Amino acid sequence: MLKEEMKKIWRPGILAVLLLFGFVFYTMYLEFYIKYFPNGPEYQGIYQVAVDWVERFGTTLEPEEEAEAAGEIPALESEALGYLSANPVAQKYGLTSYEEYEQFYSRSVLEVEGEMSALMQERYADAMLLSNYLSGEETKNVQGRIYATRLYTQMYELWEQEGVNFKDKDYMERYTPGEYAHAADSFFGADNAWRNIMPPELPEAFSTYFGYLLIWICVSCCLLLSPVPVRDRMRSMRPLQWSSRHGRNILRTQFAAAMLSGAALTTVNILIFGGLFMTHGIQTFFGCRIFSFMHTGFSWINPTFGIWCLLMVLLTYLTAMGISAIAFFLSLHSTNYVAMLLKMIPLVILTAMICPPLLTRLFYYGNSLYQLTSVPGVEGITALLILAAGLVLFALTRRRQKRQELLQG
């Protein structure tokens, strides 16, 4: 019977609908993170530098390695000068060093105020041309790499000196005493966990991407599972099912088929869309921990990035299975497709409201659900509650069905 129920769920028509809606959802919400990660020359430079440091130094940056990285800044500036020397715009203004380029850019772009004259507009345009050139593929984003190396070697030295108090007093007062104590104990103890290498945009972008992906996973599970119980009811299949040899256990079999199908569809979505994000080479950071001196923000736990991704996948499965169970319950109590849609719309809206805050900055102080509740680990609790709600609704439905059969008998 399980095989037959699975066949009823996996129909060609609904699969075609899932493919169409999945493509539309991808282009609207997910494609940006595939095309534009890292987003902008500065973040591209940070990502390039972080990859280089992990490949050369390992998952952490020790003091002697930081000194080596800081010592490479003149070489990077010389590389940039080589590109500038061959550039007609740089030759036009007689730029003979990277420092002169930075001064020219500052005067022509950053310090400009009020209405610009024709000469100022020309200098502004030329400065932007040079900036785009030094941030482009032809120069391997040398400007971004210089920016990242300067920023994070300076930040490293500041953390080395100041520890958890690396920010000013007003900034640190944003944290509660418990958060402050946890950060001090977890990241500035004997193991110096703050020395870990992790580009800050990676956990931010990946968790946001997965938050939107979770919306699609839950919606696709609703689309796949909801029509079957309604179709059975509209075709008066229930009396036949209850009178068969399988009897009252048919509901359990249908629920098992729904859960297996939801898990299978979740797996397919994760493999496809997760695989697309993997094309950015994020596996380089699987051994790095999620907290770093590179402005990642504090987190309640500090697993490796690979384990953190697995935790995100686990919460995705828990949430998707819970939503699948709730969708199964709602469709089971719908007399027709219109009634089913009216019940599914609020569920989809609720899913869209919960999923991004659930996974974005997972287990970080900055997670929206944590900010709302001040409960560490609230993300896992929320996912378990969603699953529990679905299972409770199924248990109540099964109990009610048994009573109905006894009364009818």
Banded pLDDT at 101 (limits 50, 70, 90): very high
- H helices of 300-336, in order, are 305-332
For residue 263, what pLDDT is reported?
96
In this predicted structure, the answer to whether residue 193 has a pLDDT above a threshold of 70 is: yes
Let me know if 162 is exposed, middle or buried by CB neighbors in 10 A (0-12, 13-18, 19+).
Answer: exposed
Q: What is the pLDDT of residues 288-338, one digit of tens each?
A: 999 999 989 899 999 999 999 999 999 999 999 999 999 999 998 888 889
In this predicted structure, the answer to whether residue 169 has a pLDDT above a threshold of 90 is: no
**87 in helix, strand or coil?**
coil
Residue with tokens 């900034």: 171
For residue 162, what pLDDT is reported?
76
Residue with tokens 């569920």: 347
- Percent over 70 (pLDDT), the chain: 90
Q: What is the pLDDT of residues 265-279, one digit of tens each?
A: 999 999 999 999 999
Is the backbone peptide bond immediately before 346 cis, with ω within 30 degrees of 0?
no
For residue 361, what pLDDT is reported?
96
Banded pLDDT at 408 (limits 50, 70, 90): very low
In this predicted structure, the answer to whether residue 409 has a pLDDT above a threshold of 50 is: no
With b for 16 or more beta-carbon neighbours within 10 A and e for fewer, the 389-398 pattern comes to ebbebbeebe
For residue 203, what pLDDT is reported?
96
**96 in helix, strand or coil?**
coil
In this predicted structure, the answer to whether residue 161 has a pLDDT above a threshold of 80 is: yes
For residue 23, what pLDDT is reported?
96
Q: Measured between alpha carbons, how far is 364 from 60 in angstroms, rounded to an integer?
A: 20
Q: Measured between alpha carbons, how far is 162 from 156 in angstroms, rounded to an integer?
A: 10
Nearest to 375 by CA among 235, 178, 129, 91: 178
Let me know: does 1 contact 250? Beta carbons within 8 Å. yes
Quick one: average pLDDT of 373-379?
A: 94
Q: What is the pLDDT of residues 8-41, one digit of tens each?
A: 899 999 999 999 999 999 999 999 999 999 999 9
Quick one: average pLDDT of 144-159?
A: 93
**1 in helix, strand or coil?**
coil
In this predicted structure, the answer to whether residue 165 has a pLDDT above a threshold of 70 is: no
**364 in helix, strand or coil?**
strand
How does DSSP classify residue 114? S
Quick one: average pLDDT of 80-96?
A: 92
Quick one: average pLDDT of 198-223?
A: 96
- Percent over 90 (pLDDT), the chain: 69
Banded pLDDT at 406 (limits 50, 70, 90): very low
Nearest to 76 by CA among 129, 133, 144, 127: 144
For residue 177, what pLDDT is reported?
85
Quick one: average pLDDT of 137-155?
A: 95
For residue 299, what pLDDT is reported?
93
Tokens representing residue 150 in the block: 């300067």
Stretch (H or E) spanning 280:
none
Q: What is the pLDDT of residues 104-129, one digit of tens each?
A: 999 888 777 777 788 888 999 999 99
In this predicted structure, the answer to whether residue 170 has a pLDDT above a threshold of 70 is: no
Nearest to 352 by CA among 20, 7, 15, 25: 25
**137 in helix, strand or coil?**
coil
For residue 167, what pLDDT is reported?
56
Q: How many other C-beta atoms are found inside a 10 Å radius of the C-beta of residue 404?
A: 12
Nearest to 296 by CA among 285, 283, 281: 285
**147 in helix, strand or coil?**
helix
Nearest 5°: CA angle at 362, between 360 and 368? Answer: 55
Quick one: average pLDDT of 257-269?
A: 96
Let me know if 28 is exposed, middle or buried by CB neighbors in 10 A (0-12, 13-18, 19+).
Answer: exposed
Residue with tokens 């599914």: 344
Residues 6+ positions from 97 with CB-CB distance below 8 Å: 77, 81
Q: Which whole-number Å values give the CA distances from 346 to 17, 277, 381, in the listed order?
A: 20, 30, 22
Tokens representing residue 375 in the block: 């409960």
Nearest 5°: CA angle at 282, between 277 and 286? Answer: 130
Tokens representing residue 377 in the block: 């680990």
Banded pLDDT at 3 (limits 50, 70, 90): confident
The mean of the pLDDT values for the chain is: 89
Tokens representing residue 332 in the block: 């089971």
CA 110 to chain centroid: 33
CA 217 to chain centroid: 14
In this predicted structure, the answer to whether residue 402 has a pLDDT above a threshold of 70 is: no
Beta bridge partners of 364: 299
Let me know: does 109 contact 127? Beta carbons within 8 Å. yes
Q: Which of 202-211, 245-254, 314-323 has the lowest mean pLDDT?
A: 245-254
How much is the pTM?
0.90
